[in-house]
């Protein structure tokens, strides 16, 4: 790149030919001065120049362009111009530069970028063809301006319009666009798409105690954790505040979705290290799937929002799938909250007590207080129903204080030295003055502190850990016994055991039932927990023991105390007074104990499809692998049915046991967790399949599915089985 090509560019652009001088204003300058001026323009970035031969190969390029591209000018000579630069997509398409050069006509203002991933040089290119005296094409001559900074500013502006500035995730606007376009495309292709709504639990406490800077850093860490959990083909967005959204294309397997939701909750519940201190939060997840739970973005996101609301209402730290019952459930929750407030003020609550028995000796060592509410309209309401509502509305603080005072006073009236155990909500525990309220309850009742056992879940540590430690220390010094409740259901139990002065740990009901439920008792793990507790000077309590088999298992593993239906349900005051007469109280385990267990059944009335007939029967029992149904007679072993749980949930099942009008069915594919303590099928009948047989394309209705081919075809044969009317 010598002086001659440079001079040639100047002459071609100025039209000065080979003249040695040119008049500028009132004076004149030499050609060398002209070249010096252009050289200065190049160095200052006010103007750069380029030239090609007639084949389009670069014959000159301003040295500063090569420098910005990270190479030597000689490295670029002889290379095709369109190989070095590509047209910016926003300025007319990737092939525009080639088209301009091939057209052989002057052009201006074409925005191009230097090719290659490592260079973001952007230029505004102008040029005109160079013709000789005969009019023959000799190549291109042109100039350009460096607009890299302007393009970066434009891109940043575009990025901010689509992405959250704090986390780098998609923002609300981009998520709406992505979900809209995906659902529209998937509707035509008859594909599924899941939407998750995420909300952080206790995030406000971090902002209030550690400050907004800590809250912002926590949100960035949440974003990073989500990106590690969620597959790269999915879209993650922050909608604002502590609300996130995830789109998972081609996903309708509720087993896999449930596992992803559990992993998200687990990951986000791990402690965060912030400059201002250590923080712990939680997360709740709502899940909806198109087209089952909606066709449009508005429908599916609303379904996911309702599921999220149900997850938070169920005690937080949970996930829920959308179902058509949730909207009705939300209205019921609101009404129940109002009734709860009236019931507390009106003294409608009482306490029942479930025995905690020493393993082997079968001697009652403690009684756990449990709430009992008999509502005039609803009858007896299960604590599993109203306690989450009481926690969400903070009514649990008032209810818990009443229970603490009542339990202490009633325990003082018992014969013998049996302890009273009371479960304490994390909401109640973190309320100002909790220690003083415990002290007052003991003083007014006269109950010795060592006879009061407070059962605390790991959630008490998920707020301000320092405050939790102070409260636990004060209770311990007071002499109150402390139990870590539901061990095995959380994520960081060992760290809590090392920090807090617990007297005992309670192995969670879900943990124990899970080992027996899968028919794979993990005795080694239970033994390890017992060994750990003994090493730390703690007792172990097995909760939710409902059968002789499970009782034998936990006793063999060395568990110190047992609680569950195998010994006794909770007893009211009259039953308790009778049982306590005579001093020492022993209870023998009952083989029929499991029959009295209040197992939750997800479905009561279900449909059985057999050939071209639809039978409505009663389901009395449900597990992952099968169910027990009543309502049909003369059903042989090995017969196959399709069980219709409603809402498009179908399960192929085989009769494994039969007795009169009762059959035990085994599912071809196991059910999965529904996030609400129940079970559901992995897949549902797609509305797209129903549309193929004439049903409308809309979210699945509840109840019997008349759109199913089996229910749609008129019966052509006599029913093989006799339908027996069922009560209840």
And the tokens for 158?
A: 């575009």
Does 229 map to a domain? yes
**Residues 197 and 344 both lie in one domain:** no
Q: Return the half-sphere exposure (C-beta side, CA atoms, 13 A cut-off) of residue 624.
A: 14
**Taking the chain, what is the end-to-end CA distance rounded to the nearest angstrom?**
96
> What whole-number distance in Å separates Cα of residue 406 and Cα of residue 346?
15
**Mean pLDDT confidence for 66-90:** 83
Question: Could you tell me which of 52, 58, 60, 61 has the C-alpha nearest to residue 138?
Answer: 52
Same-domain status, 205 and 271? yes
Among 153, 183, 213, which residue terminates a domain?
153
Instruction: Please give the C-alpha separations between residue 127 and each of 12, 110, 468, in angstroms, as whole numbers.
Output: 11, 9, 73
pLDDT at position 695 over 70: no
Residue 346 lies inside a defined structural domain of this protein: yes
Per the listing, tokens 């973190």 go with 430
Mean pLDDT of the chain: 83
Q: Which has the higher per-residue pLDDT, 36 or 614?
A: 614
Q: How far apart are CA 477 and CA 173, in angstroms?
A: 54
- pLDDT cut 90: percent of the chain above it: 39
Residues 591, 631 within the same domain: no
Mean pLDDT across 691-708: 58
Are 591 and 625 contained in the same domain? no
User: Do 615 and 580 share a structural domain?
Assistant: no
Q: Cis omega (within 30 of 0) on the bond before 291?
A: yes
Query: To which residue do tokens 């995420």 refer?
Result: 198
Residue 181 has pLDDT above 70, yes or no: yes
Q: Which residue pairs, CB below 8 angstroms and at least 24 apart, start in 444-447?
A: 444/405, 444/408, 444/409, 445/405, 445/408, 445/409, 445/411, 445/412, 446/412, 447/408, 447/409, 447/411, 447/412, 447/420
Instruction: Please give the average per-residue pLDDT across 74-79, as a whole number.
Output: 89
The first and second tokens of residue 295, run together, are 């066709």
What pLDDT, on a 0 to 100 scale, did the predictor assign at position 8? Answer: 52
Q: Mean per-residue pLDDT for 695-710?
A: 54
Please report, for residues 201, 208, 226, 227, 463, the alpha-carbon distance to residue 213 in angstroms, rounded to integers and kept in the order given: 18, 11, 20, 22, 17
Q: What angle do CA 677, 682, 685 make, to 5 degrees?
A: 120
Element (H, E) at 529: helix 523-535
Confidence of residue 518 (pLDDT cuts 50, 70, 90): very low
Shared domain for 62 and 184, answered yes or no, is no
Residue 90, both tokens: 């926003």
Q: What is the mean pLDDT of residues 312-326?
A: 82
Continuous segment of H or E residues that includes residue 128: strand 122-131
Distances in Å between the alpha carbon of 214 and those of 163, 240, 272?
Answer: 21, 16, 10
Tell me the C-alpha distance between 681 and 252, whole Å.
11
If asked whether residues 538 and 567 sit together in one domain, one would say yes
| pLDDT for 3 beyond 60 | no
Please give the Cα distance from 62 to 49 (Å, whole number).
5
149 shares its domain with 167: no
488/505 Cα distance (integer angstroms) = 10
For 113, the enclosing helix (H) or strand (E) is strand 107-114
CA-closest candidate to residue 463, choices 198, 199, 200, 166: 200
- Interatomic CA distance for residues 570 and 385, integer angstroms: 17
Handedness of CA 556, 558, 560, 561 (dihedral sign): negative
Do 609 and 591 belong together in one domain?
no
Residues 418-427 have pLDDT tens digits of 999 999 998 8
Tokens 């730290």 locate to: 317
Q: How many domains does the chain have?
A: 4
Alpha carbon distances (Å) from 551 to 533, 593, 686: 19, 11, 44
Strand (E) or helix (H) holding 282: strand 282-290
Name all contacts of 530-534 with Cβ < 8 Å and 24+ positions apart.
530/557, 530/558, 530/559, 530/560, 531/558, 532/494, 532/497, 533/504, 533/505, 534/558
Instruction: Tell me: do 412 and 499 sit in the same domain.
Output: yes
In which band, very low, low, confident or very high, does the pLDDT at 435 lie, cut at 50, 70 and 90? very high
| 123 class by beta-carbon count within 10 Å (0-12 exposed, 13-18 middle, 19+ buried) | buried
pLDDT, position 519:
46
Q: Is residue 296 part of a domain?
A: yes
Contact 462, 202 (CB under 8 A): yes
In this structure, the answer to whether residues 283 and 348 fall within a common structural domain is no
Name which of 103-107, 292-296, 580-584 the model is least confident about: 580-584
Domain boundary among 293, 324, 355: 324
For residue 134, CA distances in Å to 85, 105, 131, 137, 482 come to: 31, 17, 8, 9, 102
Average pLDDT on 344-353 reads: 93
Q: Rounded to whole angstroms, how far apart are CA atoms 558 and 360?
A: 10
CATH number of the domain encompassing residue 627: 2.40.10
Residue 110 lies in a domain: yes
Query: Pick from 249, 414, 362, 338: which is nearest to 589 by CA?
Result: 362
Residue (of 423, 346, 410) closest to 384 by Cα position: 423
**Alpha helix locations (H) across 346-457?**
383-392, 395-411, 426-429, 434-445
Report how far apart, in Å, the C-alpha atoms of 18 and of each of 7, 54, 59, 127, 646 are: 9, 21, 19, 21, 90
Taking CA atoms, 269 is separated from 201, 281, 308, 430, 615, in Å, by 9, 5, 17, 18, 45
Query: 273 and 341 share a domain?
Result: no
Q: CA geometry: angle at 587 spanning 585 and 592, to 5°?
A: 160
Question: Does residue 332 belong to any structural domain of this protein?
Answer: no
CATH number at residue 496: 3.20.20.450
CA–CA distance, 606 with 608 (Å, rounded to integer): 7
Q: What is the CATH number of the domain that holds 216?
A: 3.30.70.270
Please state, in angstroms and as integers, the Cα–Cα distance from residue 616 to each residue in 170, 323, 345, 347, 644, following that order.
Answer: 47, 21, 44, 42, 9
Range in 531-540, 548-557, 592-601 with the lowest mean pLDDT:
592-601
- With contact defined as beta carbons under 8 Å apart, do 213 and 219 qualify? no
- 8 A C-beta contact, residue 330 and residue 309: yes
Q: Are 237 and 244 a contacting pair, CB within 8 Å?
A: yes
Q: Identify the H or E element spanning 91.
A: none
Distance CA 396, CA 434 (A): 13
Residue 330 in any domain: the answer is no
Q: Does any domain span residue 331?
A: no
Q: Are 616 and 605 in contact (CB under 8 A)?
A: yes
SS3 212: helix
SS3 call for 377: coil
Question: pLDDT tens for residues 7-21?
Answer: 455 454 444 444 444
For the chain, give the percent of residues with pLDDT over 70. 83
Q: What is the DSSP letter of 460?
A: G
pLDDT band at 716 (very low <50, low <70, confident <90, very high): low
Which tens digit of pLDDT belongs to each residue from 372-401? Answer: 998 887 788 888 778 888 887 889 999 999
CA distance 440 to 431: 15
Write the CATH number for 62.
3.30.450.20
Which residues form the domain of 643?
Answer: 605-723
Contact yes or no for 126/108 (Cβ under 8 A): yes
Q: Please, what's the largest Cα pairwise distance for the chain?
A: 127
Q: How far apart are CA 198 and CA 24, in angstroms?
A: 70
Please state the rounded mean pLDDT for residues 115-129.
82
Whether residue 560 has pLDDT greater than 90: yes
Convert the pLDDT of each residue in 631-675 to its tens digit.
898 899 999 999 998 888 999 999 999 888 889 999 999 999 888
- More confidently predicted of 247 and 8: 247
User: How far is residue 505's CA from residue 485's CA, in Å, rounded to a whole number?
Assistant: 6
The verdict on residue 499 lying in a domain is yes
Query: pLDDT at residue 433 above 70?
Result: yes
Q: Tens of pLDDT along 129-163?
A: 999 888 899 999 999 888 888 888 877 777 777 88
Could you read off the pLDDT of 461-514 as tens digits, one per residue? 766 667 888 899 999 999 999 998 877 655 445 666 777 789 999 887 656 654
């Amino acid at each position: 790149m010598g002086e001659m090509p440079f001079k040639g560019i100047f002459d071609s652009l100025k039209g000065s030919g080979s003249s040695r001088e040119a008049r500028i204003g009132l004076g004149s300058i030499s050609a060398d001065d002209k070249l010096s001026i252009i050289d200065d323009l190049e160095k200052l970035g006010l103007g750069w120049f380029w030239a090609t031969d007639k084949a389009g190969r670069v014959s000159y390029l301003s040295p500063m362009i090569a420098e910005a591209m990270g190479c030597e000018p000689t490295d670029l000579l002889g290379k095709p111009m369109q190989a070095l630069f590509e047209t910016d997509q926003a300025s007319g398409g990737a092939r525009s530069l080639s088209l301009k050069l091939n057209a052989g006509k002057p052009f201006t203002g074409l925005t191009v970028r230097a090719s290659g991933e490592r260079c973001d040089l952007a230029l505004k290119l102008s040029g005109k063809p160079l013709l000789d005296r005969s009019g023959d094409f000799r190549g291109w001559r042109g100039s350009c301006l460096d607009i890299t900074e302007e393009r970066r500013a434009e891109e940043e502006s575009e990025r901010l319009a689509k992405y959250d500035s704090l986390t780098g995730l998609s923002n609300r606007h981009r998520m709406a666009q992505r979900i809209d376009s995906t659902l529209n495309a998937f509707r035509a292709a008859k594909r599924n798409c899941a939407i998750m709504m995420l909300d952080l639990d206790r995030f406000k406490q971090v902002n209030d105690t550690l400050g907004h800077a800590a809250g912002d850093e926590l949100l960035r860490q949440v974003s990073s954790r989500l990106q590690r959990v969620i597959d790269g083909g999915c879209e993650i967005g922050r909608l604002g505040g502590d609300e996130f959204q995830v789109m998972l294309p081609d996903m309708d397997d509720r087993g896999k979705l449930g596992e992803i939701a559990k992993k998200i909750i687990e990951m986000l519940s791990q402690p965060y290290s912030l400059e201002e201190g250590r923080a712990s939060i939680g997360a709740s997840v709502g899940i909806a799937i198109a087209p089952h739970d909606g066709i449009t973005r508005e429908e599916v996101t609303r379904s996911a929002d309702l599921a999220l609301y149900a997850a938070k209402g169920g005690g937080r730290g949970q996930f829920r799938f959308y179902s058509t019952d949730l909207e009705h459930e939300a209205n019921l929750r609101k009404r129940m909250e109002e009734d709860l407030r009236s019931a507390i003020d009106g003294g409608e609550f009482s306490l029942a007590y479930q025995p905690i028995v020493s393993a082997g000796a079968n001697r009652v060592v403690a009684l756990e207080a449990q709430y009992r509410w008999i509502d005039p309209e609803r009858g007896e309401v299960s604590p599993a129903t109203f306690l989450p509502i009481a926690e969400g509305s903070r009514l649990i603080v008032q209810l818990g204080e009443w229970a603490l005072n009542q339990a202490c006073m009633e325990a003082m009236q018992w014969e013998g030295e049996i302890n009273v155990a009371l479960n304490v909500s994390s909401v109640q525990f973190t309320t100002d003055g909790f220690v003083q309220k415990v002290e007052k309850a003991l003083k007014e009742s006269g109950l010795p502190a060592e006879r009061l056992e407070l059962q605390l879940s790991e959630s008490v540590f998920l707020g301000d850990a320092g405050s939790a430690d102070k409260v636990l220390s004060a209770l311990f010094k007071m002499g109150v016994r402390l139990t870590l409740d539901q061990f095995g259901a959380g994520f960081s139990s060992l760290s809590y055991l090392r920090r807090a002065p617990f007297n005992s740990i309670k192995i969670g009901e879900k943990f124990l039932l899970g080992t027996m439920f899968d028919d794979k008792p993990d005795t080694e793990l239970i033994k390890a927990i017992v060994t750990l507790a003994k090493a730390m000077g703690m007792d172990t309590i097995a909760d939710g023991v409902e059968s002789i088999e499970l009782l034998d298992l936990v006793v063999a593993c060395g568990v110190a105390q047992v609680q569950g239906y195998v010994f006794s349900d909770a007893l009211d005051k009259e039953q308790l007074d009778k049982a306590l007469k005579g001093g020492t109280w022993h209870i023998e385990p009952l083989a029929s104990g499991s029959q009295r267990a209040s197992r939750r059944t997800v479905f009561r009335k279900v449909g059985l499809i057999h050939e071209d007939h639809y039978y409505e029967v009663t389901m009395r029992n449900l597990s992952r692998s099968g169910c027990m149904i009543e309502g049909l007679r003369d059903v042989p072993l090995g017969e196959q049915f399709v069980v219709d749980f409603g809402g498009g949930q179908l399960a192929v099942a085989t009769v494994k046991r039969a007795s009169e009008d009762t059959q035990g069915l085994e599912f071809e594919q196991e059910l999965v967790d529904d996030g609400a303590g129940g079970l559901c099928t992995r897949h549902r009948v797609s509305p797209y399949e129903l549309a193929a047989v004439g049903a409308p394309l809309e979210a699945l209705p509840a109840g019997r599915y008349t759109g199913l081919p089996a229910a749609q075809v008129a019966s052509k044969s006599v029913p093989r089985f006799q339908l027996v009317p069922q009560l209840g």
